Amino acid sequence: LKVGAVCNACPRPDIPEDFPDVDFSMIDEYKEGTHISHWFLKLMASEGWDEDKMNDLLAENEYGTGMLYYHVFRTFDVMIVTPKETRDKLRYGSIQRIVSVMKSTVPVLVEVQGSAFEHFVDGYEYPCVYSKEGDKYPSLEEALDKLKDVSARKKCQEVGLRIAEDFDPDVMVKQLLNTLGYHGDFEC
């Protein structure tokens, strides 16, 4: 099982080095460089990427940086998203990071820590979670063992894509306009 995590100054998940059948890679953008162009080729050169190809994609207005992340995420079987451990992030969270990875169609294993992530995964009944506390949610090791099964990963993908649809900009704008009282037809 090829497992990855990309984060800026987030804690490394506690995956034992000798965990059976799991190959884990973490890209800490704080150390590697906060813009993906600083570390992308180090990871993706073996996948046929070169500087020209990367720069061509970065220059595209429609795709750009987001598409580079998409290609990185797609090199893994599972991506782990951990919360940033500041008080505000634990309370208000960064759900955007979870949804961004879900949009890539790669199964996302979410560490439930803090009220924002807990409310998010519980509200959607998202099945691919773990917690260090282990009371309500499985441990990291239990969750990884479960995700070795292709059908478990497929379930994560299906629910993740439904969640990502709720966070689509068109859907969010329409919800906002409805909240503000506009109920006519509109195209985003």
pLDDT tens string 63-100: 889 899 999 999 999 999 987 765 555 555 578 889 98
Residue range 132-181, pLDDT digits in tens? 886 899 999 999 999 999 999 999 999 999 999 988 877 777 778 878 88
Residue 147's nearest CA partner among 165, 128, 163, 131 is 128
pTM: 0.85
Distance CA 142, CA 111 (A): 12
